[in-house]
Structure 1
Amino acid sequence: MEIPDNLSVGERIRLLRESRGMPRPVLAQMCGRGPDWLKRIENGDRELRSYSLLFRLAAALQVPDLSVITGQDSDAGHPVPTGGLNHPGMPAIWAVVMKRPFGLVTAPSALPNPAALQGRVNQSWRLWHNSGSNRTEVGAQLPELIRDGEAAVRVLDGPERRTALVALSDIYRLTGQATAYIAPAEMAWIVADRALAAAQDADDPAAIAAAAWNMGNILRETSYPDDALRVVTEAGDLLRPHLDDAPDDWRGIYGALHLHAAVTHAREGNEGDAWRCWDKGNEVAKSLSASYVHPSTVFGRANVDFHQVSVATDLRKAQKAIGLAHDIDPDIMPSKERQARLWIEVARGHLQRGDRTAALHVMKLAHDIAAETVAYTPSARAVAADLWRKAPRALRREAGELAEKVGVAAPG
């Protein structure tokens, strides 16, 4: 259907919904929200900033591109996928997660070593952060790790079982990271819940907080920002009384919870709360050594600075975000995944300013650093798709090549 150019996002949603004979409560339920939320969007009383919610609305309304909802001149354009992004490693991970047996398939010949299991998990986290093909390489390890972790908690007792439970929680957190945007929603929820359940069974505050950070990611990306904030806030409250005499990694996850809240607030447009939470994360980083890096969340001085750019970009303060990024040395971040995400945020900032030449340059940097991070991150795919459609004539060939590599355009 043809939609007048002068309609707002909310008016476009209402027109599309009514043209399909879809009641407001039905569309709202398909997005995991209530009818009052959708009414506020349609009436223009609430701004819709979340890409994941835009995708949900577009899929539910059966439109081919986000620009149908956001307007042809909007930066928020992207082909609407019919399901999760495909990855060849997903079937094996799905099978081991979703077809978990009720008992041991075969008893181990010797009792598992929980410390060795944790060592394997730590090694996999390092691979996640250091590989440009992290989903493929880590995904290949996950089925065996999950099976071994589940077997360990079934056969061990006492302190050794508690150690194995912490390792199992870590395995499921890593699974959540490695399958983000490629796992169906039902599996993402199961993985997040198993990580939290294992940590709670271990009664380990740091593991619980780390699992809550992971759960917060799932809640935020499935458009439950209020619940995401509640989870990370409660986890921070649980961890805070232990921090005075705690290991550095406990403070590291405590800081990561605040950075998570900062980004969540920023995506909701809550500027004051976003910077307040970032400030708290910054204070935690100051209490740690300048070289400290949390093994899984990579919280530390560099990650706090990277998140400052993310917060500014999500608040659509493009000039501030680009200025902040100008003063950052990306090489101080030991994670290729986080380096690539920094350049993705900078590219988003350049797009907000209408500078597609600069956006293309930094997106190519991101892809060179960590190709799979770019290919499987919705915001990065949105930037690549925008550049493919709207890059200056002299850059169309380069923009097309990037779009093909990322998977938002078919080979020409």
Structure 2
Amino acid sequence: MDIPTDLSTGERIRLLRESRGMSRPVLAGLCGRGPDWLKKIESGDRPLRSHGLLMRLAAALQVSDLSIITGGSSQVTQPVPLGRLNHPAMPGIWSAVMGRSLSANRPEPMAIASLQGRVDQTWKLWHTSKHNRTEVGALLPDLIRDAEAAARTLEGDERRAALVTLADVYRLTGQATAYVAPAELAWVVADRALAAAQQADQPAAIAAAAWNMGNILRETDYPEEALRVVMDAAALIRPHLDGAPNDWRGIYGALQLHAAVTCARDGREGDAWRYWDAGDQVAKSLPSAYVHPSTVFGRANVDFHAISVATDLRASGKALALADDLDPDIMPSTERRARLWVEVARGHLQRGDCTAALHVMEIAHKIGEETVAYTPSARTVAAELWRTAPRALRPAADQLAEKVGIRAAV
């Protein structure tokens, strides 16, 4: 349909909804929200910053090009995918998660220390491989089955340790399948991680599982619930921090950074920096070289999150200034280092500098191909560059889009 160019995003959504004969409750329900939320979006009383919600609205309205909702014209479209991204590791992981055995029979006892060692090594692989989803995804089915068997068959203190390991495995599964898992599997994995940690009655494991649950809630556009979960977990572990192992304080700091990003994405600047400051204080209380094994909380990751918070608050000048003072090579995780460059690219795009954004995205892709290909924020940057890059940069932007898989989505 012919939409006037001067309409806002909210006005475009209302026009498209009414042209399709959809009521507010119906469209809002398809996005997992209530009609009051949609009314505020359409009236302009509430900004719509979430790319995930924009995609949901576009899919529900049967719009194939996101720019029809957001406005702007280009010879290149920003396609709306019909479903989630696909990854070849998913069938095996799905089978292990959804087809778990109810039998307690096992031919030989499970050595829980050995199993935990395998999990720890797989976490290291997640943070160091350029193809982390593929390599970790290949190992997860056996890890899931073995951890489930250990939790069923062991007893006493060994069973508690097995439950902590099981929670760890499901947290790793959540990380490795983020944005590619069907919604039902994502929720099952997050819930099983939290349930196993609670059965073990181990505060650090519960806090880590809550951090994972918070990721699922935030990425499915439930920021209030995400903030509540991570703050409840922080309150649970806080009384145990005096004299606790460094990893307990590490997960407590990771919860603070999680809250900082959640608030930043919701435009709550004061709260975002308050939570970041809390995480910064935790990092200062730990050895300078400390890195949490799964969340990679530590000095470098705190500094990384400052850039993320500033970018999410659209303070691009501050984000880029912070990035200028940060040595990317001190980031202990390849995955996080790639995401750091994506955040820098977002900052450049916010300032309208396509040349710098494209250069930085090429660096990010070289560091972590699968991180860029399977992270929505990175794909959004690649799509925006593909859509808006000036003529001289279009060949390079087109090549990046092809590597990331944007072109294949058309």
Q: So what's the TM-score if we normalise by structure 1?
A: 0.97
**Could you say what secondary structure the match of 1:210 adopts?**
helix
5 Å-filtered alignment, 1:49-128, equals 49-72=49-72, 78-104=78-104, 107-128=105-126
Q: Matched residues in 2 for 1:132 and 1:79: separation? A: 26
The residue type paired with residue 325 of structure 2 is D
**Could you say what secondary structure the match of 1:194 adopts?**
helix
5 Å-filtered alignment, 1:270-349, equals 270-349=268-347
Question: Which 10-residue stretch deviates more, 387-396 or 216-225?
Answer: 387-396
Q: Matched residues in 1 for 2:394 and 2:60: separation? A: 32
Please state how far the C-alpha of 1:411 moved relative to its aligned partner. 11
Please state how far the C-alpha of 1:73 moved relative to its aligned partner. 6.0
**Cα pair distance change 1:150/1:48, threshold 3 Å:** same
Q: Residue 263 in 1 paired to residue 258 in 2?
A: no
Q: Deviations over 1:59-109 (max 9, x none)?
A: 1111112211111269xx8421111101111111111112223324xx322
Identify the residue that residue 20 of structure 2 maps to in structure 1.
20
Q: Deviations over 1:28-77 (max 9, x none)?
A: 11111111111111111111111111111111111112211111269xx8
**Could you say what secondary structure the match of 1:403 adopts?**
helix
Q: Matched residues in 2 for 1:22 and 1:187: separation? A: 30
**Cα pair distance change 1:158/1:369, threshold 3 Å:** same
Identity, % of aligned positions: 73
Q: Deviations over 1:140-191 (max 9, x none)?
A: 0000000000000110000000000000000000000000000011110000
Q: Matched residues in 1 for 2:35 and 2:388: separation? A: 35
Q: Matched residues in 2 for 1:209 and 1:228: separation? A: 13
Identify the residue that residue 30 of structure 1 maps to in structure 2.
30
**Cα pair distance change 1:411/1:269, threshold 3 Å:** closer
**Could you say what secondary structure the match of 1:32 adopts?**
coil
**Could you say what secondary structure the match of 2:407 adopts?**
coil
Q: Residue 374 in 1 paired to residue 381 in 2?
A: no
Identify the residue that residue 220 of structure 1 maps to in structure 2.
218
RMSD over aligned Cα, in angstroms? 1.4
Q: Matched residues in 1 for 2:404 and 2:318: separation? A: 27
Q: Residue 361 in 1 paired to residue 359 in 2?
A: yes
Q: Deviations over 1:370-392 (max 9, x none)?
A: 00000000110111111112212
**Could you say what secondary structure the match of 2:158 adopts?**
helix
Please state how far the C-alpha of 1:114 moved relative to its aligned partner. 1.0
Q: Residue 151 in 1 paired to residue 149 in 2?
A: yes
Kept in 1: contact 2:79–2:409 (CA 8 A)? no
Q: Deviations over 1:226-284 (max 9, x none)?
A: 00000000000000000011000000000000100000000000011000100000000
Q: Matched residues in 2 for 1:257 and 1:411: separation? A: 35
The residue type paired with residue 108 of structure 1 is R
Identify the residue that residue 160 of structure 1 maps to in structure 2.
158
Q: Matched residues in 2 for 1:148 and 1:30: separation? A: 38
**Could you say what secondary structure the match of 1:173 adopts?**
helix
**Cα pair distance change 1:78/1:239, threshold 3 Å:** farther
Indicate which of 203, 206, 218 corresponds to 2:204: 206
Q: Structure 2: give runs of 5+ residues left out of the alignment.
A: none
Q: Matched residues in 1 for 2:126 and 2:305: separation? A: 19
Q: Matched residues in 2 for 1:154 and 1:312: separation? A: 45
The residue type paired with residue 27 of structure 1 is L
Question: Which 10-residue stretch deviates more, 390-399 or 211-220?
Answer: 390-399
The residue type paired with residue 402 of structure 2 is E
Kept in 1: contact 2:81–2:409 (CA 8 A)? no
Question: Which 10-residue stretch deviates more, 85-94 or 229-238?
Answer: 85-94
Q: Residue 189 in 1 paired to residue 187 in 2?
A: yes
Kept in 2: contact 1:114–1:164 (CA 8 A)? yes
Kept in 1: contact 2:190–2:209 (CA 8 A)? yes
Identify the residue that residue 404 of structure 1 maps to in structure 2.
402
Kept in 2: contact 1:388–1:396 (CA 8 A)? yes
The residue type paired with residue 20 of structure 1 is R
The residue type paired with residue 381 of structure 1 is R
Q: Matched residues in 2 for 1:130 and 1:159: separation? A: 32
Kept in 2: contact 1:212–1:235 (CA 8 A)? yes
Q: Matched residues in 2 for 1:410 and 1:111: separation? A: 47
Q: Matched residues in 2 for 1:78 and 1:289: separation? A: 45
The residue type paired with residue 314 of structure 1 is D
Q: Structure 1: give runs of 5+ residues left out of the alignment.
A: none
Please state how far the C-alpha of 1:9 moved relative to its aligned partner. 1.0
Identify the residue that residue 45 of structure 1 maps to in structure 2.
45
The structure 1 segments of at least 4 consecutive aligned residues displaced by more than 3 Å after TM superposition are none
Question: Which 10-residue stretch deviates more, 395-404 or 206-215?
Answer: 395-404
Identify the residue that residue 136 of structure 1 maps to in structure 2.
134
